[in-house]
Structure 1
Amino acid sequence: MAVNKYASFLQTIESEWRQIPSYEQLVKHFSVAKIRRHKRLFDWLLDTKLVAVDSELKKENAEQNQILQILRNAKVSPQMGLVIGSFLEKLMLQNQNGQLSLRTIRLYIRTATSLANHCAIKKHTLPTQSDIDSFLEAFPGHRASAYRFVTYLRAKAICCLWIGKPSRAVAKSKHEAKLKKRLFMCLSKLKRGVSHAKIDWKYWALQYFHGIDPKSSRKLVQSITGIVDGEGVLYIHMGKKLWIPNVDISIVA
């Protein structure tokens, strides 16, 4: 079966070029993914220096394949599919002009299809303002990419949508919930006997109880300035006293 597979590959090369083509020609015709399925043969071409890999071209082709895979996996309405296709054409034109990388395009398309999938769950053919708001509430990390897609929808008069500034209160609440989750993870690690659990606890506790930024929190934990008492540790940061409780195995016993 392997012989037949390689034979088919070689026959295609013979019929297309009648000689060993360049790496660029191979990638354009077969794609990096398909070449990878003929690894032994391709390794031989490399070893004999009949073909030389173009790393940048390989990376670009991989990005293109990922974009296509995202589109294939998207469960969107036909109308939304046309919109995303048009959006992709605009992005690819900017790529050809050197304005956008394929990686950035992949991020934009992933967000556009994720938003479309989010709309499909609500039985909406095109996104509504409530779809945008709920999507960004669930996936705040997509805000920058979503802004590009929403701007495109508005410019094409497809949808009149806007991305407002995130609520500080909501952002703060989510951040605190994330830190709290980290603290509970430290408790779990301590119960399992993970050696660095106590250090992690101090790192996250300074952020949770006192709002210290991660960089300063790390410096404080790594320093020897902490004053240990029977129930916790006291740190001095920018003239302020920051006390955090000890994490104890009895808490999670």
Structure 2
Amino acid sequence: MNQHQTVDCDECGREVSKLWRRHKGHGYCSTCYARVFKRRMCPRCGELARLPKNDPDAVCRQCNVDKPCARCGKASSDYNIGKVTPYGPVCIACAPYFKEPEPCEACGKASQRLTRVARMGHDHRLCPRCSTADHGTCSACRRHRLLVVAPNGDALCKACNEQGEIACPSCGNPMPAGRGDACEPCYWTRTCRKRITIGQAGITTKALSEAFGEFGEWLIRITGPHKAALKINHFFSFFLELDQAWSRIPSYSELLHHFGAEGLRRVRLPMRWLHEEQGVEPDHQAKRIDSEKRRIQACLSSMPFASLSDQVLQAYWLQLETRIEAGKTSHTSARLALRAAAALLLATNREGQRLPQQGDVDNYLHAVPGQAASVTGFTNFLNRQHATTLAPRVDVKRARKRRKETLARTLMTMARCADQGEAWREAWIVAAMEYFHDTKLTQKMLRQQTVERTTDGIQVVVGGVTYWLPLDIEC
């Protein structure tokens, strides 16, 4: 049998079944309440109330809670009191945050929002997840609610089932009744604008704060309110960086130098807005070079630090950089040559402790014969700087055999492709011409030739010579 719980009066110390009043965290039993609290006028509202005689500044209960919510700041006239805390009154929405978490009596998970649900058939206190275990998504308003099955078989919430469609209070368009005070576009537009306002408060420069607002409205128009609301906070960090670095909208060259091409790719929509609305012209050549420089640095970083391979690759890069500055090569060509050199060095020794020998070069080109031209510059550099006698040699017969194997795999893959449209036909002819007739064609060259469909395949006329190709192969 459960014993009756008691509490101590903070005034007299007696154990009582319940406290009669709690004032500023101090509990009073009924006897102490009658002795300490005397009837007099409230100094704020002028109404009679029982107030503690030892606190001349005390106000009545109504005045004591006539304050904004201590958590969200909502005005006292706009909310019902959910709890009176040591920090002041809080609204019903904020009250759970001032409760101690307790275990759910169904799943055991600690929660500040335990509740009893009569329709469950028991009086257990349940967490939000367990209390809504019988809920689902309404097929009309898409809210997660208790559902009923409509005559047409749709699972609808009570509002959508009983009222159907109503006019949106904001735009007047029809919407499911379960959406409440706004249709979906109006809801996401309102949400996005709230997030824009919050973001603007974090930007110190007035011009950039206004620019962020203009960008947000542009984003709503271009991507739609739903996507805009989900993305606007992601793009806020870009505008915050502009605010901290420049306090203005910078030029494209400044943006490229600060963020790099990779960083600007992550903010394509803000960059599009800067181009369309603010006249910031992108420099595609500078962007391409920045990308190549980043790849070159990644290639240089692939070597073991301070190893022999690292020193050799750095020296080779200095030679390539000199050629770039002299206009004798491009960043792209230099990057391809550097990548081939790095691959050869790593294939020679992963620890980077020795230089390639002829056998290492042969083994490398045996695996990737197509890199012979790219690796030639590096072998010439090693011959000059380190007195080696390397020569890139490709086994033409073996390379042709490997190419045939690659083409065969390509044709087998294409034969299993379900979508065999015009693009597929062109790719098939290009691969089949090289595989069956050792004739290389590009798709651009193919469009200038005569191609005829026959009963058993395809005829292609190239340079006055007719070639026959199968239209399909057995997989």
Q: Given the superposition, is the C-alpha separation of residues 244 and 72 from structure 1 closer, same or farther in structure 2, using an over 3 Å criterion?
A: same
Q: In the aligned structure 2, how far is the partner of 1:202 from the partner of 1:41?
A: 43
The structure with the largest alpha-carbon Rg is 2
Q: In the aligned structure 1, how far is the partner of 2:237 from the partner of 2:385?
A: 50
Could you say which residue in structure 1 is the equivalent of 2:299?
A: 70
Q: In the aligned structure 2, how far is the partner of 1:23 from the partner of 1:238?
A: 49
Q: Comparing 175-184 with 106-115, which one deviates more in the overlay?
A: 175-184
Q: Tell me whether 1:94 sits opposite 2:323 in the alignment.
A: yes
Does the 8 A contact of 2:429 with 2:469 survive in 1?
Answer: yes
Q: Tell me whether 1:13 sits opposite 2:241 in the alignment.
A: no
Q: Comparing 143-152 with 71-80, which one deviates more in the overlay?
A: 71-80
Higher relative contact order (CA 8 A, sep 6+): 1
Q: In the aligned structure 1, how far is the partner of 2:376 from the partner of 2:341?
A: 10
Structure 2 counterparts to residues 1-253 of structure 1, below 5 A: 6-13=239-246, 22-35=251-264, 46=275, 47-49=277-279, 51-74=280-303, 78-121=307-350, 125-157=354-386, 159-164=388-393, 166-189=394-417, 194=420, 204=431, 207-214=434-441, 222-223=451-452, 226=454, 228=455, 247=472, 251-252=474-475
TM-score (norm: length of structure 2): 0.41
Q: Given the superposition, is the C-alpha separation of residues 173 and 54 from structure 1 closer, same or farther in structure 2, using an over 3 Å criterion?
A: closer
Does the 8 A contact of 1:75 with 1:117 survive in 2?
Answer: no
1:223-248 superposed Cα distances (whole Å, 9 cap, x missing partner)? 25x5x57xx78889889886666746
Residue 293 of structure 2 aligns to which amino acid in structure 1? Answer: Q
- Any unmatched runs of 5+ in structure 2? 1-232
Q: Given the superposition, is the C-alpha separation of residues 33 and 221 from structure 1 closer, same or farther in structure 2, using an over 3 Å criterion?
A: same
Identity of aligned residues (%): 23
Q: In the aligned structure 2, how far is the partner of 1:159 from the partner of 1:56?
A: 38
CA drift of 1:211 comes to: 3.6
1:80-107 superposed Cα distances (whole Å, 9 cap, x missing partner)? 1111111111111111111111111111
Residue 64 of structure 1 aligns to which amino acid in structure 2? Answer: K
Q: In the aligned structure 1, how far is the partner of 2:335 from the partner of 2:250?
A: 29
Residue 153 of structure 1 aligns to which amino acid in structure 2? Answer: L
1:124-182 superposed Cα distances (whole Å, 9 cap, x missing partner)? 63212111111111112211110011111111126331112x23322332232233323
Q: Comparing 71-80 with 236-245, which one deviates more in the overlay?
A: 236-245
Does the 8 A contact of 1:234 with 1:244 survive in 2?
Answer: yes
Q: Given the superposition, is the C-alpha separation of residues 142 and 29 from structure 1 closer, same or farther in structure 2, using an over 3 Å criterion?
A: same
Structure (1 or 2) with the greater helix fraction: 1
Q: In the aligned structure 1, how far is the partner of 2:426 from the partner of 2:462?
A: 18
Q: In the aligned structure 2, how far is the partner of 1:22 from the partner of 1:169?
A: 55
Q: In the aligned structure 1, how far is the partner of 2:431 from the partner of 2:266?
A: 46
Does the 8 A contact of 1:153 with 1:159 survive in 2?
Answer: yes
Q: Given the superposition, is the C-alpha separation of residues 124 and 43 from structure 1 closer, same or farther in structure 2, using an over 3 Å criterion?
A: same
Q: In the aligned structure 1, how far is the partner of 2:375 from the partner of 2:420?
A: 40
Q: In the aligned structure 2, how far is the partner of 1:118 from the partner of 1:247?
A: 40
Alpha carbon RMSD of aligned pairs, Å? 4.2
Aligned residues: 238
Q: In the aligned structure 2, how far is the partner of 1:32 from the partner of 1:233?
A: 46
Structure (1 or 2) with the greater strand fraction: 2
Q: Given the superposition, is the C-alpha separation of residues 63 and 134 from structure 1 closer, same or farther in structure 2, using an over 3 Å criterion?
A: same
